[in-house]
Structure 1
Amino acid sequence: MNALAGTLPIGTAAGLVLGDEPATTCYLPEHRAFLRWLAADSEDDLFAEAERLLADPVTPWEDCGPWETDGPAVLMDSVTAGAELGVEYPAGGKPEQAYVEIEKGRFTVRAIHTKGEAAWVGLVRLIPEAA
């Protein structure tokens, strides 16, 4: 996937895929945004750059299309098959995953990758669509 974000079919639903490159990712529920650590010396620098971008009304977001979800999601590495979540590896350990509290609904997905002075940040934001 060359886009910053997009959707892929999963059965009768669609999964949101954060594209471009692997990156440590967390969810910022107060902004309905996934924050991706592309390059930063500290978490403080990363979060400060994210807050700056989210607060700036002229941030040049890329439209990545719609996504509909029936509620909470699982953040996981795309190389892990969904059926493998929670299953122990032969050598021990389990695939990393994080539950993300997202409300049921239809969203417009917008994304940006920036190279700020102190941090390179990726953001994927979920904008609720009007009913």
Structure 2
Amino acid sequence: MDDLADAIPVGENGAQALVLADEPATSCYLPEHQAFLRWLAADSEAGLSAAADTVLADPATVWEECGTWVSDGPAVLMDSAEAGSELGIEYPGGGMPAQASVPLPAGRWKVRATHTKVDVENWVGLVQLLPTES
């Protein structure tokens, strides 16, 4: 994948998965911004969160357009190295695959992404979902 995010087909029924590309990074979903926040560099969660707020509020932020994603409703944020069918199944040595709920209504979403260095300590990745008309 060449972009910072992209929707790819999953299965045979036309479903799609949104893949957050580039480097592995701890990620979470910010429902108030309909955006995934990726921890690229920061000294603390508070610094990362503040940097994300700065980037999201700045009209000069440069966004990469990453196509459209069609979702049938709430999603799951997971590591792409996991098989989706194995979420919820304990590993042989113990522990469970990491996953987080993404409270997203069904719809068609314009996907845009940025990797932005806010200051010396904080560099954030954001993948934002914007509703489309059709």
TM-score scaled to structure 1, two decimals?
0.97
Cα offsets for 1:23-60 (capped at 9, x unmatched): 11011101100000001001111011100111111211
Identity of counterpart residues, as a percentage? 63
Residues in 2 aligned to 1:2 and 1:62: alpha-carbon distance in whole angstroms: 11
Q: Residue 80 of structure 1 is aligned with which of 60, 79, 82?
A: 82
Q: Which runs of 5+ in 2 are unaligned?
A: none
Counterparts of 2:128 and 2:44 in 1: how far apart (Å)?
22
CA contact (8 A) 2:62 2:114 kept: yes
**Deviation for aligned residue 1:2:** 3.0
Paired residue for 2:25?
23
- Give 1:66 shift: 0.4
Aligned position for 2:130: 127
Q: Once the 2 structures are TM-superposed, how far is the Cα of residue 114 of structure 1 from its aligned partner? A: 1.3
1:91-116 deviation digits (Å, cap 9, x = unpaired)? 01111101110011001000000122
Structure 2 counterpart of 1:104, from 92, 103, 106: 106
Taking only aligned residues, the RMSD between alpha carbons, in angstroms, comes to 0.9
DSSP-derived class of the 1:114 partner: strand
4+ long deviations beyond 6 Å: none
Aligned equivalents of 2:45, 2:85: Cα separation in 1: 32
| C-alpha contact 2:34 2:128 (8 A) present in aligned 1 | yes
Structure-2-length-normalised TM-score: 0.95
C-alpha distance in structure 2 between counterparts of 1:95 and 1:123, whole Å:
23
Q: Which amino acid aligns with 1:78?
A: S
- Aligned with 1:69 (options 68, 71, 79): 71
1:36-75 superposed matches below 5 A: 36-75=38-77
What is the identity, as a one-letter code, of the residue corresponding to 1:25?
A: S
